[in-house]
A and B are shown apart, each in its own frame.
Chain A
């Protein structure tokens, strides 16, 4: 477990996300599939929405996220919510590298930003 004060994204990844991946592998948990599945008749899925499409923005989006995890029966991710809050605090304290005016956007930023 990393020190919760001044946690960096790099430490968060190494100390929390990588072990979480290993734990998921042991449990057979996969958040999404990476390739085709010939056994499936169709790939259409039921809509996945936290709110049913519309919600009021509450004071903390991380509270929203935590509530969503709890409501959807997610077991592992709620365990890192406090570290996620600490990471956010650390990022905000260190002036986040945002898409500031003049900052060029990466060639391929779609999925992660």
Chain B
């Protein structure tokens, strides 16, 4: 047996994304996902685009060392990307003169040399085993191979890959057949980002905020957008009118023509949000919803499948995802890659090489459950590391001999209204915290949304929080019959739990979000958005038993099977990775209790000097 195949007899393959944004590495042995992590978690630089050296090193550790590495896969074909960038520069000449120098340096410098950069991670005898996988194939692979489906329609939609921006494919067994695509410069991801930019939010991270802003507005610009900016066909294919978008020649997302059509300039990021930008957000959301509905309808029809797999940045739009389920009766089951953005491309590239170049079988759960392992694929730290971090910070902590006792005390603290930072087990892969690096609180708390946004997360008070609910109780509270283990579906809070909201003169002039936010919109006010929607995570005993135990205990104490679940970080900071990150975030924010392995650290029990550290953390706002 070859040394690279190790005791299992299976090839170990590492996938890499990077040199763009959200770099990551993922390890696959045979057809099984072993590990995956974003570089930002180690470097503490949000959306770190650099070659993920630390993530790569960690993944190599997880497979048993570099000598076990059979092959390495990059999530994009740099030659084909260069082809697009060069043709863009020609097509848009002479207007591309300003953007070409930086593009040339980026493409011809690091990107085209990625093969050599990755080759050095392989043992010399296997240095030829560097693969490049097309960007949308990587995304499609990340969605289909770990899914529970033996066969499915696959839709990828993002900003841009090499040329493709939207792809329809058919996954069957261990094969993915790409059926059709929409190409640059026409792109739903770039389209949505343009509206993000126009509303004064940051491209590549503010899209999530635009989605959260949309329910405050009304989609009164839809016709204007559909008439002027995008030609969306019944079959889901589309073209943009590039007169309105700036990305072909500049580093601006929009043009003066865009502002003229929308009737307002780009919002100053520091200015108040007004009703017109809320309406623009609602309109952009409505258009992306409609486009994805048509695309998915076509994908299901072309493949004859009732199963759908989604990936690409647009798949993180959980409002759209929820509408797909609600409005497409032909859609029977859906599985969305939790790391749907570029980080997930690392995982998809590795899986694609495993299945196509090495003929590996898919994960053992096909037909029953997914192979994503709850997306708990990142680093974990033992009790010794936790204890060392507590000691180093000089914290007073309670140690519990049993996990059960620690869970019981944590649940009591939550029931008493305290805010918990939970650091437990393996870190999540993807942008969402799913319980192991999470801030948790009682969703019935009336001031929960504003308090946690302002005192804990240091972010905009209007942004909603997501609920995590025991899977068995999900359909009681929410209009959702499917599971949503990765917090990628939005559904409505059921009528029985809603409370009327008085919008008063909101639209007529005040646009005072605080007046709306100050009203309990349901019996679960902290997780109910202003349109009664919620971004749901269901938790079950199989994917994350300790987290399920905590929620079950809280349910037993309070009768409420739901908690607020938001990521353990502050605005602009990557989610905490190691125990030191967790201590730092705990001390600098209004988190009351740090649930730290089998330790509990209460802020109220710390010295005054330690308590005064709150609010000192500084990160560039996202």
Contacts and interface: CB of A to CB of B under 8 A. Distances in A.
B5 to A, nearest CB: 20
Interface in A1-58: 8-10, 12-14, 17-18, 20-21, 24, 30-37, 42-51, 53-58
B45 interface: yes
Contact of B90 (A17, A33, A60, A112): A17
B197 A35 contact: no
A32 B79 contact: no
B251 A48 contact: no
Contacts of B107: 113
A105 interface: yes
A32 B180 contact: no
Contacts of A64: 79
Please tell me the size bucket of the interface on B: 35 or more
Contact of B109 (A37, A98, A111): A98
Interface stretch (B232-240, B273-281, B460-468, B499-507): B232-240
B253 interface: yes
B58 interface: no
Given A61-B112, A98-B110, A108 B83 contact: no
Please tell me the size bucket of the interface on A: 35 or more
With most chain A CB atoms within 10 A of its CB, the pick from B89, B108, B168, B190 is B108
Given A49-B134, A56-B128, A57-B118, A62 B79 contact: yes
Given A9-B104, A97-B105, A101-B45, A107 B202 contact: yes
Interface stretch (B93-101, B482-490, B595-603): B93-101
A21 to B, nearest CB: 4
Contacts of A84: 86, 108
Nearest to A31: B87
Given A17-B93, A31-B90, A56-B131, A107 B251 contact: yes
Given A43-B186, A110-B190, A54 B99 contact: no
A110 B160 contact: yes
B108 A88 contact: yes
20 contacts: A10-B97, A13-B89, A31-B91, A32-B91, A34-B243, A36-B241, A44-B180, A44-B182, A44-B235, A45-B181, A49-B134, A61-B78, A61-B111, A91-B108, A96-B110, A99-B50, A108-B203, A108-B247, A108-B253, A110-B190
Interface of B: 19-21, 43, 45, 47-50, 74, 77-80, 82-83, 85-91, 93-94, 96-97, 99-116, 118-119, 128-134, 137, 159-160, 162-164, 167-168, 176, 178-186, 189-190, 193, 197, 202-204, 231, 233, 235, 237-239, 241-243, 246-248, 250-253, 352-353, 356-357
Given A35-B241, A46-B181, A57-B115, 15 more contacts: A10-B97, A13-B93, A20-B93, A31-B87, A48-B183, A51-B134, A53-B133, A55-B77, A55-B131, A60-B112, A88-B109, A101-B43, A106-B251, A108-B193, A112-B85
